[in-house]
Amino acid sequence: MVLLPQRSKTAKREKHMSQRLKFFLDFLPLAGFFVGYHYYNLFAGTAAIIVLTLVSLAVTWAYEKKLAMMPLISGIMVTIFGGLTLLLHDELFIKIRPTIVNCLFAATLFIGVYAYKKPFLKYLLGTAFQLTEEGWLKLSRNWGIFFLFLAAANELVWRSFTTDFWVNYKVFGVMAMTLAFTIFQMVRMQRFVVEDNKGTDQP
């Protein structure tokens, strides 16, 4: 998700190390899914993503002694829908999982922003980035829109193209779009970064 710079050199160094590990743990299940599918089949890939997702969550818990809500919910949904795919031998469940997860995240963020005026993204991430409250609300709204886009795109791809195309889109396409969107949000949110415990939300 969006990463904003910390102010102290020590904090920056610690955050850099943590983010490298986090990237590896985030990518590991997708890599297993991709390898399992291309060397065997979709069901082998599904089994791999379930196991490696649980491993990733376990390592995260051992390393940080906590789990953020977003990866935890994603892990639960992978286990449920992946398990249904394997149990019923039906690839539909693993294909619709991204749609359901992204809609769930989008709905959560929109409810927070428009119903409660609360930036639920902050709680989903489980990380205290240095943004003003206005910045968090805008960021929550923007990610809600992006999650809806990902849900719609997933539906379009799996319904309109081959499974091989969908797997490549899921592993590489979604990652590329998410990275580009994250960088764009980092630039957009710079004016909402907190400086010395004071908001700097002036344009």
Structural domain including 57 reads 9-199
Has residue 39 been placed in a domain? yes
Cα separations in angstroms, 103 against 53, 65, 109: 20, 28, 10
Report the domain count for the chain.
Answer: 1
Has residue 1 been placed in a domain? no
More confident residue, 81 or 196: 81
Residue 92 has pLDDT above 90, yes or no: yes
CA distance 48 to 94: 12
Has residue 3 been placed in a domain? no
Nearest to 151 by CA among 196, 197, 97, 191: 97
Lowest average pLDDT, out of 17-21, 64-68, 188-192, goes to 17-21
Largest CA distance in the chain: 55
Has residue 2 been placed in a domain? no
Has residue 144 been placed in a domain? yes
For the whole model, what pTM was predicted? 0.84
Residue 150 binned pLDDT confidence (cut-offs 50, 70, 90): very high
* pLDDT for 49: 97
How many Cβ atoms are within 10 Å of 23's Cβ, its own excluded? 10
